[in-house]
């Protein structure tokens, strides 16, 4: 619920112009035919890893990190598209980086470091390599939408 300000469009209210653009893009992405998305999804999922060029399957592997220095703490989550091996390496690396750099901020470094380390360790076996994840499907829809805007054709193979 937005009490003050925001952007009104089509009977809906958005927190700001960026939220409004994101909602419009999500709606437009759903106009890409499901068959086109599934065809590209199967090819991407079973294709080679973009990081190591090794065999697939590839998927989105969420990696969580935190950096702290006295009163400054930054945390983030990223979703590189890669094979299971590269995803595990990225998650172990992020967990190690959190151990080294996460604790040094007060109070959020002390709070967020164990959370981000746990998130990395819990997600070591995710996503299921047998089927493409919903995150990969959403990412591919976004890429196809952006390429369709540039090329006027969603049938162009996606560049990931």
Q: What is the pLDDT of residues 32-90, one digit of tens each?
A: 888 888 999 999 999 999 999 999 899 999 999 999 998 899 999 999 999 999 999 99
Q: Hey, where are the domains in the chain?
A: 31-151
Asked whether 45 and 56 are in contact (CB, 8 A), the reply is yes
Give one DSSP letter per residue of 26-57, joined into a string. Answer: HHHHTTS-HHHHHHHHHHHHHS--TTT-----
Beta strands in 3-155 (DSSP E): 7-9, 12-14, 58-60, 63-69, 72-78, 81-83
């Amino acid at each position: 619920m937005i009490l003050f300000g925001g952007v009104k469009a089509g009977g809906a209210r958005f927190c700001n112009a960026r939220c409004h653009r994101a909602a419009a893009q999500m709606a437009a992405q759903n106009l890409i035919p499901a068959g086109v998305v599934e065809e590209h999804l199967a090819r991407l999922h079973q294709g080679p890893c973009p990081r190591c060029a090794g065999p697939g399957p590839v998927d989105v592997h969420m990696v969580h990190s935190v950096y702290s220095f006295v009163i400054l703490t930054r945390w983030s989550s990223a979703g590189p598209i890669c094979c299971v091996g590269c995803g595990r390496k990225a998650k172990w690396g992020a967990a190690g980086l959190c151990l080294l750099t996460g604790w040094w901020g007060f109070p959020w470094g002390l709070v967020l470091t164990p959370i981000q380390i746990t998130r990395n360790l819990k997600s070591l076996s995710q996503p299921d390599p047998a089927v493409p994840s919903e995150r990969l499907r959403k990412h591919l829809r976004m890429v196809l939408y952006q390429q369709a805007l540039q090329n006027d054709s969603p049938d162009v193979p996606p560049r990931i």
